[in-house]
Amino acid sequence: MARLAQTAGLTDVQQEILSTVRDFVDKEIIPVATELEHRDEYPQAIVDGLKELGLFGLMIPEEYGGLGESLLTYALCVEEIARGWMSVSGIINTHFIVAYMLKQHGTQEQKDHFLPRMAAGDIRGAFSMSEPGLGSDVSAITSKAVKDGEEYVLNGQKMWLTNGGTSSLVAVLVRSDEGHPEGTAPHKSMTTFLVEKEPGFGEVRPGLTIPGKIDKMGYKGVDTTELIMDGLRISADRVLGGVTGRGFYQMMDGVEVGRVNVAARGCGVAQRAFELGVQYAQQRHTFGKAIAQHQAIQFKLAEMATKVEAAHAMMVNAARKKDSGERNDLEAGMAKYLASEYCKEVVEDAFRIHGGYGFSKEYEIERLYREAPMLLIGEGTAEIQKMIIGRRLLEEYRFQG
Ligand SMILES: Cc1cc2nc3c(=O)[nH]c(=O)nc-3n(C[C@H](O)[C@H](O)[C@H](O)COP(=O)(O)OP(=O)(O)OC[C@H]3O[C@@H](n4cnc5c(N)ncnc54)[C@H](O)[C@@H]3O)c2cc1C
């Protein structure tokens, strides 16, 4: 039987990396994921294994000690990892976004300082845009940086930092009016600061507090936190790229590749849900035959597999577009939107196939059912994706009459 979600045209190196990751997922992640998730336990052994495989440096250029691989290779690895446990892909994702932003926008000194240790997994990244009062509307950010000599003083509260506790480098987006007169468009007065800190909770650096883990319905194991800046002093050479006022664009660039990543996660979770559904459907008997032999269940499986294939194809297309050096916001938005919606639907169908047992914590599908909704929200909700897609379509199909 042809497996679902195959990717044509991969190099030998890509195939080798993927088969190593798939093997790791089958042996080291799937057997322990549900148990760790139920205990909301950080998967330290898994993270150590990924570190050893070089996954934290997958897209970091070789000159900085990474593997210098493409976004496509990265996304396909993420798909495999999310198939094992979505939370683990979340541990890598924010790290990857910060490394990508450094690679694209950092000064030479910033790249030399951070990237080699990020490639080794010794420094791990988190990124922070959201605040208690905003998520979709990034231009409404209220956290502020004020210049004081060769330093900036940061104040404000941030929300929903994936890896907020375990990271040691946070890319934080704040408003910095210095050099930008009143009346400047909101997105032109934002700056990304590279904030180093100790991993952990409490006051992790003078003026910087990570209060504790937010208790979530799913996406457990990985820590999600608030971040409070109260007179946090950051040296001017830790402004990403060395120039203020560029933060919004830098973050949006990071989020664009992050969207491909979330699409890949949706593909991975949907694949796992399909695997669980198709296996269960052949084991469970009703009315004298396996439920897979009832046409209604076969139709469900057909729909699920079609969605898995379609989402995978769109995700691969979005990654390849970015790798070719072209703008991919349309493709990334479409892939993220479709993959996350399909993921939720495929998981729901696999849950229904399990009947009452899907409701039991003994069955893996129960965990997937709580994990899929996160993908509808992270890196921009469906409504935000549709806004991006709609705007881009009107640019491309401008009425010429
Ligand atoms: C587990 C988890 C981890 C996260 N990790 C991070 C992280 O690492 N870093 C980070 O910065 N953020 C992170 N986030 C935040 C996430 O990006 C936001 O939750 C998301 O962008 C939505 O913002 P919001 O929650 O403020 O919802 P809101 O923006 O308040 O939106 C609420 C609803 O209104 C809709 N809506 C908003 N504006 C419009 C509009 N113009 N038109 C139509 N509908 C609209 C939305 O689609 C949504 O349905 C995380 C969130 C979660 C749940």
Q: Which of 12, 6, 162 is nearest to 80 (CA)?
A: 6
Encode pLDDT of 331-371 as tens digits.
Answer: 999 999 999 999 999 999 999 999 999 999 999 999 999 99
User: What was the pLDDT predicted at 101?
Assistant: 97
Q: How far is CA 19 from the centre of its chain?
A: 21
184 lines ligand 1 (CB under 6 A): no
Average pLDDT estimate for 190-205: 98
Quote the ligand 1 centre to 82 CA distance (angstroms): 21
Q: What is the pLDDT of residues 83-130, one digit of tens each?
A: 999 999 999 999 999 999 999 999 999 999 999 999 999 999 999 999
Q: What is the pLDDT of residue 181?
A: 64
The DSSP H or E segment spanning 104 is: helix 86-105
Q: Is the CB of 134 inside a 6 Å radius of any atom of ligand 1?
A: yes
Active site residues: 379
Residue 189 beta carbon below 6 angstroms from any ligand 1 atom: no
324 contacts: CB under 8 Å, gap ≥ 6: none
Residue nearest to atom 16 of ligand 1 (CA): 378
Token representation of residue 397 = 């199909």
Distance 214 CA to ligand 1 centre (A): 15
Predicted pLDDT of residue 324: 96
Distance CA 287, CA 294 (A): 9
User: What would the mean pLDDT of 381-387 be, rounded to a whole number?
Assistant: 96
How far from 308 is each of 274, 300, 367, CA to CA, in Å?
8, 12, 19
**Which of 377, 387, 388, 391 best tests ligand 1's pocket when mutated (most atoms within 8 Å of CB)?**
377
For the chain, residues classed under CATH 2.40.110.10 are 125-243
CA 122 to chain centre: 19
Pairwise CA distance, residues 389 & 319, whole Å: 16
- With pLDDT > 90 as the criterion, what percentage of the chain qualifies? 95
CB 301 within 8 A of CB 345: no
Question: Which atom from ligand 1 is nearest to the alpha carbon of 129?
Answer: 11
CB 340 within 8 A of CB 375: yes
DSSP 149: T
**Pairwise CA distance, residues 212 & 165, whole Å:** 7
Give the pLDDT band (50/70/90) at residue 1: very low
Q: Where in the chain is the domain with CATH 1.20.140.10?
A: 249-396
Bridge partners (DSSP) listed for residue 144: 155, 175
Q: 249-396: which CATH number, 1.20.140.10, 2.102.10.10, 3.40.50.720, 3.40.640.10?
A: 1.20.140.10
Nearest atom within ligand 1 for CA of residue 137: 29
The answer to whether 206 touches 185, Cβ cutoff 8 Å, is no
Q: How far is CA 239 from the centre of its chain?
A: 23
What is the reported pLDDT for 244?
A: 95
Cβ of 93 closer than 6 Å to ligand 1, yes or no, is: no
The contacts of residue 252 (CB under 8 Å, 6+ apart) are none
Residue whose Cα lies nearest atom 24 of ligand 1: it is 135
What span, in angstroms and rounded, lies between the C-alpha atoms of 97 and 340?
19
Cα 253 to averaged position of ligand 1 atoms, centre (Å): 17
pLDDT in tens, 2-36: 689 999 999 999 999 999 999 999 999 999 999 99
Of 239, 265, 312, which is closest to residue 96 (Cα–Cα)?
Answer: 265
Q: How far is the CA of 189 from the centre of ligand 1 (A)?
A: 21
Q: Locate tokens 């979530």: which residue?
A: 216
Residue 381 CA: nearest ligand 1 atom is 47
Spelled out in words, what is the top-level CATH class assigned to the domain 12-119?
Answer: mainly alpha
C-alpha triplet 286, 287, 290: angle, nearest 5°:
45
DSSP state, 2?
P
- DSSP state for residue 169 in the 8-state scheme: E
Supply the pTM of this predicted model.
Answer: 0.96
Where do you find CATH 1.10.540.10 in the chain?
12-119
Q: Which CATH architecture has domain 125-243?
A: Beta Barrel (2.40)
SS3 state at 270: helix
Q: How far apart are CA 365 and CA 261, in angstroms?
A: 22
Predicted confidence (pLDDT) per residue in 269-301, tens digit = 999 999 999 999 999 999 999 999 999 999 999
Assign 179 a pLDDT band (cuts: 50, 70, 90).
low
DSSP string, 170-222: EEEEEE--TTS-TT--GGGGEEEEEEE--SSSEEEETTEEE--BPP-SSS-SS
pLDDT at 180 exceeding the cut of 70: no
Q: What is the mean pLDDT of the chain?
A: 95
- For residues 268 and 276, give the distance between their C-alpha atoms in angstroms, rounded to a whole number: 12
**Pocket of ligand 1 contains residue 166 by CB under 6 Å:** no
127 CB less than 6 Å from ligand 1?
Answer: yes
SS3 294: coil
Q: What distance in angstroms lies between residue 393's CA and the mean position of ligand 1's atoms?
A: 23
